[in-house]
Structure 1
Amino acid sequence: MPLDRGTADRDMKIAMIEVIVVAIPFAGGSKSAESAWGKKNASRADSLLVKVTTEGGVIGWGEAFGFTAIPAVKAAIEEVIAPLCIGVSALNIGSLMLDVQKRLHIFGRSGAIMFGISAIDIALWDILGKATGQPVHRLLGGAAVSELACYASLVRYTDPQLVVENVNRALADGFSHLKLHEVTVDAVREARKAAGDSVDITLDVNCPWTVREALDMSAKLRPFNLRWLEEPIWPPENFDGLARMRREGGIPIAAGENASTLVEFQQMLSAGAVDFVQPSPAKMGGISELQKVFALAAASATVVMVHTFYDGPGLLASVHASAALGSKDSLVEWRYFDLEAQLYGDAVLPKNGMITVPHGPGLGYDPDADVVRNFEVRS
């Protein structure tokens, strides 16, 4: 039911911000290699959820990019960010988030502080949608589609045979778009052989190479017809190097998950560094900043492919934004894990490689209380 304006000031002030760490084990026995997101042979997926409650009892859910950085992000939210938000209207998202960013900029414009701000921002959009009876995508202008295509984002396996096994599983599950996180030519070659020529394959290598090394690798990778090569260069903010890769490498370039501010995205786009820009809402300021990146990208005719290597509120934020602000080419990243449980049960599981855009108020779904309770990590 839409919020009565007369009760807004009284009931919509932020009363409580809770940080909840959830660790869901992998159900399958496949082993991952060590990569940017976690440890070698990781046995569980760790998520950091944020629950924001107003004085009137409206609850919003957010998510911060965490993984092995969760202790730092949790501390940043509880000890630094949350005290600045308590008592402020949850409906004043833009002004509150800008004030928090300004007051905390001295501690860094990326990492734990920005991850925590991102989670709270997403939760506030969830609250705004629930308070006004609208899904987030309608608050962003309305969805032009009812479902979006997904790509199955595989963890790094290194062993080409394991790569092939998981490519085949993803194809059997109905995905026609895949992302690999491999860093060897052999693994990519075997994935392309298994998938055939009609399947889109992207490759995220997580910033391992110099520009020269990346150019040499791109020459070896060109025969595999990658839709894009993601973050090939160290450091990730070397936008001139990425632009050179885009000019000379012969493979479309994607980047942006490690950019934390609108200025970085502006610099990236101005440099002509990417064919696909990849803001990560659980890392770079939440929905408030994400919508601005869509506007920047539109001005430079660059496709936005939102980074969503998570499966909680951060994923839902990406779906709403892509449905409302994206193009016909937009894809949703689906973290292709064998988890014992999903935060939303079966509600958001892709079917035949497609994910349904939620139409309930706010983000559309709250995390399943039983899943949160059963897999919560209590310190």
Structure 2
Amino acid sequence: MSITVSRKIETIEAIPLRIPFTAGGRSDTGAWGGKDLKTVDSLIVKVTTDQGLVGWGESFGFTVIPAVKVAIEKIIAPLCIGRDPSLIGKLMHELQVTLHIFGRSGAIMYGLSALDIALWDIAGKEAGQPVHQLLGGSDVDRLPCYASLIRYTDPELVTANVTRALSDGYRHIKLHEVKIDCVRSAREAAGDDVEMTLDVNCPWTVREALDRTNELHPYNLRWLEEPVWPPENYDGLARVRREGGIPIAAGENASTLMDFQHLLQAQAVDFVQPSPAKMGGITELRKVFALASAHNTTVMVHAFYDGPGLLASVHSSAALGGPSALVEWRYFDLEAQLYGDAIIPKRGAIAVPQGPGLGIEPDADVIRDYRMN
């Protein structure tokens, strides 16, 4: 006789954190905050089952955290309490259908993403396996990282922090600069053998982007990321890819599988960048890997996070990304790390957690000390 084990989601808690950081000098205005930002805000989600299992997720954060917290607590959580946490695909599909009228991007999708990551964490713990094994398995125990620098808009600070990243063992650097002299300084500091990418956060028209690619050619970029405004101008992005002569990356602002389908059908990118804490979590992320494979396009998961969103990226990249996978490491010096030293890259590579679920539990003291009221 078989025995069916009843499982239910008992509680869902959204926890905002604010952790001070430094980044090797004064920052300039960037997509993640105002000029000379001194703290980084994140939103983690704790899902507890009636059997006592706890899963952790993470939503896209920064200044949108108050809206996402309300969306999770007032809209998403009431639909999930009492549901079976093991039926991840079924539940996430139902939630997307139920909540589509409120928008297919922004706070609702960010909240669903955090929930999904937490449910995968629970699934792995229940199975006694790391998430990457649930995704098909991996024999990779470390993944190379690229140091994702903040925007400095100061060539001397760019030089200093590229040099600092190289001394920490990174051989891949991402800039967030928009001025050519800063890119020039970075390449001069890095030399010719270091792979360098440039994320400009959607500032230009198609014509402006094409003009800039001409100026950027000498600096041998592995990719130019999100050069066109608005980010959903996939035809314009495709033109920059065809005519600009620099590989194009985009996707962190795409919110649904259909967005990625349109992006890939437009032949707009060489590298597609789903962001698991924004676009539906691990459930949707693995679909993007399959879709990208069908379009002969490389996935480089966007992971500008330090919590469960980063771990979701690491597990997915290990299982689905293949030998070209790189992990984005937010090159901040945080006052406290949610996972202590366990996830910090060593010599430019990050360990793939081998414990059940996401593999590492957040530090309760860090949550207590840096929780926002």
Global fold match (TM > 0.5): yes
Q: Which residue of 2 aligns with 1:206?
A: 201
Amino acid at match of 1:331: L
Question: Residue 126 of structure 1 is aligned with which of 116, 121, 127?
Answer: 121
Alpha-carbon offset, residue 27 of structure 1: 4.5
**Contact (CA 8 Å) 2:19, 2:335: kept in 1 or not?**
yes
- Whether 2:294 is the aligned partner of 1:305: answer no
Q: What is the distance in 2 between the residues matched to 1:143 and 1:13?
A: 30
Alpha-carbon offset, residue 7 of structure 1: 6.0
- Whether 2:5 is the aligned partner of 1:8: answer yes
Amino acid at match of 2:41: D
What does the per-residue CA deviation read over 1:299-345, in whole Å, with 9 as the maximum and x for residues that have no partner? Answer: 11111000000010000000000000012111000000011111100
TM-score by length of 2: 0.98
Q: Which residue of 2 aligns with 1:143?
A: 138
Question: Residue 35 of structure 1 is aligned with which of 30, 36, 43?
Answer: 30
- Whether 2:216 is the aligned partner of 1:224: answer no
What does the per-residue CA deviation read over 1:266-303, in whole Å, with 9 as the maximum and x for residues that have no partner? Answer: 11111110000000000000000000000001111111
Amino acid at match of 1:222: H
Amino acid at match of 2:124: G
Q: Which residue of 2 aligns with 1:107?
A: 102
**Contact (CA 8 Å) 1:63, 1:314: kept in 2 or not?**
yes
What does the per-residue CA deviation read over 1:243-268, in whole Å, with 9 as the maximum and x for residues that have no partner? Answer: 11111001000000000000110111
TM-score by length of 1: 0.97
Correspondence 1:17-56 to 2 at 5 A: 17-27=12-22, 30-56=25-51
Task: Name the SS for the 2:216 alignment partner.
Answer: helix
Gaps of 5+ in 2: none
| Structure 1 vs Structure 2 CA RMSD | 1.0
Alpha-carbon offset, residue 366 of structure 1: 1.2
Query: What count of residue pairs does the alignment treat as equivalent?
Result: 372
Task: Name the SS for the 1:88 alignment partner.
Answer: coil
Amino acid at match of 1:67: F
Task: Name the SS for the 1:228 alignment partner.
Answer: strand
Alpha-carbon offset, residue 66 of structure 1: 1.2
Question: Residue 349 of structure 1 is aligned with which of 344, 348, 356?
Answer: 344
Question: Residue 290 of structure 2 is aligned with which of 295, 299, 307?
Answer: 295
Alpha-carbon offset, residue 144 of structure 1: 3.3
Task: Name the SS for the 1:34 alignment partner.
Answer: coil
Amino acid at match of 2:178: V
Moved more, 70-79 or 21-30: 21-30
Question: Residue 57 of structure 2 is aligned with which of 54, 62, 70?
Answer: 62
**Contact (CA 8 Å) 1:182, 1:203: kept in 2 or not?**
yes
Q: Which residue of 1 aligns with 2:238?
A: 243
Q: Which residue of 1 aligns with 2:150?
A: 155
Alpha-carbon offset, residue 28 of structure 1: 5.7
What does the per-residue CA deviation read over 1:94-114, in whole Å, with 9 as the maximum and x for residues that have no partner? Answer: 000110110100000000100
Q: What is the distance in 1 between the residues matched to 2:314 and 2:169?
A: 19
Q: Which residue of 1 aligns with 2:266?
A: 271
**Contact (CA 8 Å) 2:24, 2:161: kept in 1 or not?**
no
